[in-house]
Chains A and B, each alone.
Chain A
Amino acid sequence: MKDTDIKKLLYTHLLCIFSIILSIFIPSFFSENFSILETHLTWLCICSVSVTAVNLVLYLVLKPNVSSKRSSLSYKVTRFLKCCIYFLTSCFFFHVIFVLYGAPLIELALETFSLAVILSTFTTVPCLCLLGPNFKGWLRIFSRNGVTSVWENSLQITTISSFVGIWLGAFPIPLDWGRPWQEWPISCTLGATFGYVAGLVISPLWIYWNRKKLTYKNN
């Protein structure tokens, strides 16, 4: 394993964090009454779009994955379409999971779906960027001894921490404090965002500390 890999990882992650922070501050220059809590859905969309964009740009610039041999245009287009389908599927999948978890079925469906979108942004989009629409590869990453590179390892960590974040974000909902951020799905989106950011911070550090122990099969 090279230290340069870890460095690269750290910089890309810092860029991701930066994009999230920007998504909080930039819109307030354009719109007077923008705030995370009150115009939550707007912020959600902006955050989701910016994180996706940063991820895509990073992917196009860095190409962390071994690029496939075929590179015809039609192949690329089908690949892209496939990615879109995967993304939508994951949104619907998360939506169903939230409903099963106890989210209301009909009321607030838009809110629930936007939560699903943001969670997909934090988890599915990086997966798509790194591995492409390759479900078996995803499954491999999330199993013991499945990761093969620093990138995959960090993907594993950020995804898990996003899930943990959104899960913890559900805890304040029943409390009777009456705060605006306790409303569905604000605390969960905030939790997911914090979890994602925490994952972005932790993963380079964790990999750095454990670099002696980590031996990826392809290195």
Chain B
Amino acid sequence: MQKISVLLFLAWVSFLFYAGIALFTSGFLLTRWELTNHSSCQEPPGPGALPWGGRGEPGACWMASRFSRLVLVVIDALRFDFAQPQRSPVSGEPPVSLPFLGKMGFLQRLLETQPHHARLYQAKADPPTTTMQRLKALTTGSLPTFIDAGSNFASSAIVEDNLIKQLSSTGRRVVFMGDETWNDLFPGVFSQALFFPSFNVRDLETVDNGIMKHLYPTMDSDKWDVLITHFLGVDHCGHKHDPYHPEMAKKLTQMDKMIQGLVKRLKNDTLLVVTGDHGMTVSGNHGGESELETSVALFLYSPRALFPSAPAEKPEIIPQISLVPTLALLLGLPIPFGNIGEVIAEVFSEIEDSQPRSSALAQASALHLNAQQVSRFLHTYSATAQDLQLQKLHRLQKLFSKASADYQRHLQSPQGAEAALRTVVAELQQFLRGVRAMCTESWARFSLVRMAGGAALLAATCFLCLLVSQWAASPAFCFGPLLKPMASGLSGAMVCAGLLASTGLKLDFVVVGAMAAVGSLLPFLWKAWASWGSKRPLASLLPMPGPVLLLLFFRFAGFFSDSYVVTEARVAPFLLISLILLLVAQLHWEGKLLPPKLLSIPRLGFLTPAGPPQYSAMHAVGLGVGLLLCIRLAGLFYRCHEETPICSSSPLLSPLRSTVGGRAKNLWYGACVGALVALLASVRLWLRCYGNLKSPEPPMLFVRWGLPLMGLGTATYWALAAGADEAPPRLRALVSGASVMLPRAVAGLATSGLLLLLWRPVTVLVKATAGAPRARTVLTPFSGPPTSQADLDYVVPQIYRHMQEEFRGRLERTKSQGLLTVAAYQLGSVYSAAVVTALTLLAFPLLLLHAERISLVFLLLFLQSFLLLHLLAAGIPITTAGPFTVPWHAVFAWALMAAQTFYTTGHQPVFSAIQWHAAFVGVSESRDFTWLSAFLVGANTFASHILFAVGCPLLLLWPFLCENQGSRKRRQPPGNEAEARVRPEEEQEPLMEMRLRDAPHHFSAALLQLGLKYLFVLGIQILACVLAASILRRHLLVWKVFAPKFIFEAVGFIVSSVGLCLGIALVMRVDGAVSSWFRQLVLTQQK
């Protein structure tokens, strides 16, 4: 019952945190309202005559169509400089030669030879620069907001008005070939479509070759009005290699050839548009708002002359969404309702008519239509949603009505000069730009109430953790009062929600969750205050020692500085090292390292400090130095944050596949396998040292045989993955099949191992010897294999006594008939053996999701935590009969190490650093982003969170394990004389983890305390993120640094809290199994 209530309570506290996070998120990551209104030909955007009497003509709309056909070529991630013409180098300057420069020679030739037909623009994409957001913007002309960024790979149909919908509703035949995302965005719109899966970024050819196969035949057939193609090769090349790879040159040349073929087949009434959806960073990723990601090539070509003048020396910079109204008007469509883009005015000049006035008039009328449409949208939008700033809105509306009046005036007086029309054009453009600026600013507006509520809820929950963890450390702690207010509050909130639901109100799950959280939290805090808090001074609520509090404060404050968030990979180890040095120094300060003789002045010889030193100085200093070395070595695996100006990520993070040179590859492969073997060997050695490996139980059999098998599988998988490109063609199928099956096999083995562990978690060796001279039941938690008969006869009265107390009646009877001597070994480390085994089993599948060389980090990780646990245990006194405590510095160091490992496994809290390749491990063919891929990528990203959260109970268990070494050492010198006389040898036998079992009540309380403390430290981090994001919400870097950090930290918190509950549940399962094992033992004794 106590165990259940511990888990329930932890789950409830986690729920409180989740509710706070959800409430904050709902206020912080807002979406823009999507209007479902549509423009139509019949309904002009505003009053006033349509130019050229658009309505009357067949096929014409707001404006007469200038092109009846369109070929839109979207080349994913076509950055501006990929298509930029290469000027012949100025003399004296060395020619720049990069694989991606000047590879689109055909475009360049077109621009040079036909300046009135072709034009290249530098289009500015709005962040987030993910494909789906950009496609949405390219068809609706709006600004998809940040929150959509998450749905990139699970896209859904566009509800807003868009070009494609307009095309199909006016009866054009739209043919599409390319990226499957279009099918999700525009389901069932295309008259003919050929979709290719987009998610497998390793594949550079399938999509492009597939399109190429069908492109020209479709072009030549006459079954289309609009032909859209979306090529993925360039983007995938960026993701797989980077823009500097020779493959990129190949890809771009291929695209250039493709365009050449298209241009050859173009007819006079056809417009060709070649554009990218976004750019890419130097590492080939995208999603953020850096210059390289947002600058996109946009190329227009028409066989008819389209532009009145030759292009400027430097391509003009225009917003990417300008394409939407421009295409709409050129094709004779109404501009999509929600568009806020601005037409490219020069396209609308009258080429045939050489009069400058008519040209200006044509531009002005196109812009006026555009402005009318935008004004109508603003009007409708501000009536629906209140998130636009009223003042600005009014100013813009005034600007529009003035420009509109001017336009009408000049329209009516045909003698108006060209200059006057130019001012009208300028006014209209000013209006359109003002609208865009206002929308950009306003669609990142926050709900302050929810943000404050979420932050308050998180803060209160942190306080609760502090309160209860302090409470659980007191001897008179009981579980009863914990659950009552929680249950009553939760049920009250349920009833409230039920009532609300029955009244038919629309229920917001976030609000309901927050209500339930507050409803259960308040009675609890009230109760706690009444029964406990008011009796003591508040100062005792701050139980942390000063230095730890200071470090925690620094960590908290670091979240408020963008520099510290960006360099957290260096800051977390810094704090961790400081904490470790502090621990060693503190041990020395308290005289626990050196014998008191050394520390006192010889000639005076004052009293020894309390207790003998538990650890030798060399031991502790060695642990500290080892830890520092591990941390520094792990720091070599460093990935750059995208905001770090001059930085290069460690080459160690890249997969072996991309290593150049066979010798280096082989050496690295050897090192990785070596790390794997070392990891396996050290775990086995550890288990053997504590004797648990001797146990005949299935989990230990698995450790003996299954783990090496898993290691073998992993090593083989690495070999296949590293050499996949070099495999001979006839073996390709075999290799690819094996590299899919091997990770699955390892994961399956790990799962079966975990199941075995859950089934029989007690890993002890029982020896029964018949016919002992004096019949008695003996349970020795003696660690290590029994060496002699004397060892077997070893008596441990403590356990014996407790056994007696537990099963007195039965034991009495047993004694009377007793024939057996039962000795059980390794009981002393039964809990931690289970946890360590579980961690190892978890580590293998997680390792497979990372690049090969991360195995070295995993080895360091295990080593590091082992050393840290030992060092921490040195400072913790072993209490015999509870209450047990886990000190704050231990929990904090553990959390810091989790954070450090997050970075050393090659992660950064930014979206561009997510290792998507993890989604392909053990997946044969991924057509789409499924839950499985999400799970795999999540497990890759939060591997360190999982491992450290599950391993958290070790913090409680380890000091008891270390008792073994301490007492063994003490055995050598003659012990206390009086003791030795009474019970020779007996007192010295370590009880180790059985001490915890001796006080089950305190054991549960300690687990609760441990969980709460860990949640508190994590909660403080998430609270800092929340506060930073809300206070700095107007900060320049909020979307680049603080918001991603918050999201990563929030997901990390959820993962950690689940892992923590699982880890604690595992310990409880072992405890239950040990109990039933004892019971069984007694029953067999009775027979």
Contact = CB atoms under 8 A, between A and B. Distances in A.
Nearest to B627: A100
A177 to B, nearest CB: 8
A101 B570 CA distance: 9
Contacts of A174: 563-564, 566-567, 570-571
Given A99-B632, A175-B561, A176-B563, A142 B588 contact: yes
Contact of A139 (B562, B573, B599, B606): B599
B570 A143 contact: no
B647 interface: no
Interface string A139-180: 110111110100000000000000000010011001110000
A144 B606 contact: no
Interface stretch (B589-597, B861-869, B1051-1059): B589-597
Contact of A170 (B574, B598, B601, B628): B574
Contacts of A212: none
B542 interface: no
Given A100-B577, A170-B574, A143 B564 contact: no
A71 interface: no
A101 B599 contact: no
B629 interface: yes
Nearest to A148: B601
A70 interface: no
A25 to B, nearest CB: 33
Contacts of A217: 601, 604, 606
A78 to B, nearest CB: 22
A69 interface: no
A175 to B, nearest CB: 5
Contacts of A148: 601
Interface in B628-681: 628-629, 631-632, 635
B562 A176 contact: yes
B573 A167 contact: no
Interface residues of B, number: 31
A136 B598 contact: yes
A100 B562 contact: no
Instruction: Classify chain A: how many residues form its interface, as a range.
Output: 20 to 34
A134 to B, nearest CB: 12
Interface in A76-112: 97, 99-102
Contacts, number: 61
B609 A144 contact: yes
Contacts of B635: 102
A100 B629 contact: yes
Contact of B598 (A139, A144, A145): A139
B566 to A, nearest CB: 8
A143 B591 contact: yes
A102 B570 contact: yes
A146 B590 CA distance: 10
B604 A218 contact: yes
A166 to B, nearest CB: 11
B861 to A, nearest CB: 18
A136 B585 CA distance: 15
Contact of B563 (A100, A143, A146, A175): A175
Contacts of B564: 174-175
A136 B573 CA distance: 31
Given A99-B632, A145-B609, A139 B594 contact: yes
A140 B601 contact: yes
A148 B591 CA distance: 16
Interface string A203-219: 00000000000000110
A143 B632 contact: no
Contact of A101 (B561, B566, B574): B574
A174 B568 CA distance: 9
Nearest to A175: B563
Contacts of A143: 588-591, 594, 599
Interface in B599-625: 599-601, 604, 606, 609
Contacts of A136: 598
Contacts of B578: 167
A136 B604 CA distance: 16
A140 B598 contact: yes
Contact of B599 (A102, A140, A175, A176): A140
Interface string B403-433: 0000000000000000000000000000000
5 contacts: A102-B574, A102-B632, A143-B588, A143-B591, A145-B599
Given A102-B574, A142-B585, A142-B588, 9 more contacts: A100-B631, A140-B600, A144-B591, A148-B601, A167-B578, A170-B574, A174-B563, A175-B563, A176-B563
Interface of A: 97, 99-102, 136, 139-140, 142-146, 148, 167, 170-171, 174-176, 217-218
